[in-house]
Amino acid sequence: MRKWMIVLTGILVAVTIAAQEPYAVSAIPAALLKNASVVKRMEEIRYDISEGNKAKYFYKAAYTILNEQGDRWGGFGEGYDKLRSIESLEGTLFDAAGKKVRSLKKSEIRDVSGSDDNLADDNRVKWHSFFYKTYPYTVEYEVELRYKGTMFLRDWIPQERAIMAVQQSRLSITIPASNPLHYKMFNYKGEPVITDDKADKVYTWEIKELPAVEQEYGAPAWHELTTSVFLATEKFVLDDYEGSNASWKDFGRFVYDLTKGRDVLPDDIKAKVHQLTDGLKDEKEKVKVLYEYMQQNTRYISIQLGVGGWQPFDAKYVATKRYGDCKALSNYMYALLKEAGIRSVYTVIRAGGNDDYLLTDLPSSQFNHAVLFVPQGKDTTWLECTSQTKAAGYFGGGTSNRYAVAVDENGGYLVRTPRYSLNDNLQVRHIDAAIDTEGFLEAVVKTSYRAEQQDRLHSIINGLSKDKLMEFLKEDIELATYDVKSFNYKEQKDKLPEINETLDLVASNYATVSGKRFFVIPNIFTRTHRKLKAAEKRIYDLVLDFEFKDVDTAKIKIPAGYTPESIPADIKIESPFGKYTASVKLSGDTISYFRSYEHYSGRFPPTAYNELVKFYESVYKADRSKVVLVKSESAPALKGF
């Protein structure tokens, strides 16, 4: 009995000690473990902003890594450059019971470039990892920084990914009362706590116990799904430049000041501009000619040196070096157009396929890219100056259909980039094919891709050699066993660019032969692959971004001596998400197939999700409908075509 008491006492003591450890996994509420791979145990963020618009930044956070998927939070990295310095960096590793395993050693901190090899950038990163793999474990990191300006305040988004739960996070900002703090909140109950001691104001936000988010197909942007606060000081400094976020006009005036006087061209380039354009009467043609000249004589290199992250290198620099970043190339193109007597507008934008939002009611530095546009009434020409291959006037999916801020001598103002509609994003395909008695297919496939439908292919054919392109085609086409005999591409560069593709290919066992029966899927090339699971409960709105239209026709010659046993009926599917029609006809020894698929974009309520599931499922099945043929008794057993 005494031994049992000793053992029990030991267990109780161990449990009590574990419970006292702040990072013991046993202290995590059960609700936070559901669907989570990492739990942010605590986070403390403090900004202390001075009258001179300098800032001290303190960050401390602890993450409990539950499994391999959470390992990305098992280490820590912090960037620094000419405008921010790292004062200290500390880290500690804890085991599942919350007991300290060890602290990081200064010699373990790596200091590496924060850029790719082809970039000119003063950004560096200090990073560390314990490389610990005994799950669960906890890491705690603490860092202090100093900023030379407050143009860039980090967003507060405690829950960084869907697989992360948050136990506690707190943000506080101390700022002079003379410099108002602007902010925009999502999914935060109430208002921040604001205290005022006359000279300064302190803003504080805090959240507790955010469970991991169940990921949903087509959910809105992440900041709409979780607690998010976006920040901007009304007055800010970048190096020696002062700016204001009071309005987009004020913010744009700051950007304009960074570009002012940097558009002077060398004399030889001025002469070249006139040589290229003086004989042209049409302004659009002048824009096109100068844009192509710029593409042929410059290349893109990102340059992020101090204020150079926002200020373009001047036009003479680009003309001499023949390279530049998005800012420098846009400014250079601006100078070329100006010399030709054509007005253009420098524009800052947030580029990226999944970053098409701009908080229009929070003027601030939300941008990562610069472009140009030429106002021509209703027919504005947009120019992506970092591309050496895009058509003048075409943007593509990375910068289309979003707000940007145009900048001129009067300041900044919101503009909207081009939106490519259903009928713009058009793919038209025609197939002439023949199948022999063993199911061997030979086909000539002619396809035209337009606007965003050609974006991926444009990058591939302009980035690969002919041999590499053949290798790509032999791996990319979704047929079980096939070979590409030849290919050809022709590009039509325009505001709605188009690529015409011709493929000559063969595929073995395309049709299935079973006894007397012959099974053929008439939709050879354009089958959808999206299938979704129905949901008992949908939480978030459904967002479909990309709209397009596909039109397919096919003529498929079959072996003689077969009669139809089953031919798919004409099908028509209509929903709020799109429209699909398909038909199959058999005339003599030729199957004629037609398919039209329209996919819409839009934002829909959560209750619409299961209707989308049914729509995709119906299209998926229709795309795989089979023609069943039966061999006539009298038909000769022929091979070949």
Residue 641: the pLDDT is 38
Structural domain boundaries, residue 360: 242-416
Query: For residue 113, what pLDDT is reported?
Result: 82
Same domain, 325 and 193: no
Could you list the beta-strand ranges (E) of 124-269: 124-129, 137-147, 164-176, 181-186, 193-196, 200-210, 228-233, 235-238, 241-244
For the segment 554-568, the average pLDDT, to the nearest whole number, is 94
5 pLDDT tier (thresholds 50, 70, 90): very low
For residue 10, is it within any domain? no
Q: What is the pLDDT at residue 601?
A: 96
How far is 331 from 124, CA to CA, in rounded Å?
27
pLDDT at site 307: 62
Lowest mean pLDDT among 131-135, 199-203, 375-379, 444-448: 375-379
The amino acid sitting at 582 is A
Does 534 share its domain with 612?
A: yes
In a shared domain, residues 616 and 585: yes
Residue 7 lies in a domain: no
Closest CA to 507 of 467, 461, 474, 550: 474
> pLDDT digit string (tens) for 580-616?
999 999 999 999 999 999 999 999 999 999 999 999 9
* Segment 428-443 mean pLDDT: 96
pLDDT: which is higher, 118 or 473? 473
Reported as a single tens digit per residue, the pLDDT across 124-143 is 899 999 999 999 999 999 99
Residue pair 60/142 in contact (Cβ under 8 Å)? The answer is: yes
Q: Is residue 48 part of a domain?
A: yes
Q: Does residue 35 sit in the same domain as residue 85?
A: yes
The highest-confidence range among 60-69, 114-123, 190-199, by mean pLDDT, is 60-69
> Which residues, listed in sequence order, are joined to residue 443 by a DSSP beta bridge?
433, 505
Q: In terms of domains, do 130 and 222 share one?
A: yes
322 shares a domain with 234 = no
Summary count for the chain: helices (H), strands (E): 9, 38
Residue 12 lies in a domain: no
Tell me: do 81 and 109 sit in the same domain: yes
* 301, 186: one domain: no
Distance (Å, rounded) from C-alpha 396 to C-alpha 456? Answer: 10
Listed in sequence order, the residues at least 6 apart from 281 whose beta carbon sits closer than 8 Å to its beta carbon are none
End of a domain among 190, 205, 238? 238
Share of the chain above pLDDT 70, in %: 93
Does residue 137 fall inside a structural domain? Answer: yes
Helix, coil or strand: residue 139: strand
**Token pair for residue 572?**
């028509």
CA 420 to chain centre: 17
Which ranges constitute the DSSP H helices of 390-482?
Answer: 455-463, 466-476
Work out the number of other CB atoms within 10 angstroms of the CB of residue 273. 21
Domain CATH code at residue 523:
2.60.120.1130
pTM of the model: 0.89
Q: Please tell me the predicted confidence (pLDDT) of residue 11.
A: 37
My answer on whether 324 and 447 are in the same domain is: no
pLDDT value at position 6? 40
What is the length of the chain? 641
pLDDT > 80? residue 638: no
The mean pLDDT value for 535-563 works out to 95
CA distance 75 to 529: 37
pLDDT, tens digit, for every residue of 223-233? 999 999 999 99
Choosing from 361, 384, 416, the residue where a domain stops is: 416
For residue 34, give the CATH number of its domain: 2.60.40.3140
Distance CA 399, CA 397 (A): 6
Say if residue 116 is in the same domain as residue 202.
Answer: yes
- Assign 83 a pLDDT band (cuts: 50, 70, 90): confident
**Total count of domains within the chain:** 3
In this structure, of 109-118, 307-316, 583-592, the range with the lowest mean pLDDT score is 109-118
| Average pLDDT over all residues of the chain | 92
Residues 270 and 411 in one domain: yes
574 and 627 share a domain? yes
For residue 639, being part of any structural domain is answered with no
Given 416, 443, 473, the domain boundary residue is 416
CATH number at residue 310: 3.10.620.30
Alpha-carbon gap, residue 337 to 265, rounded angstroms: 11
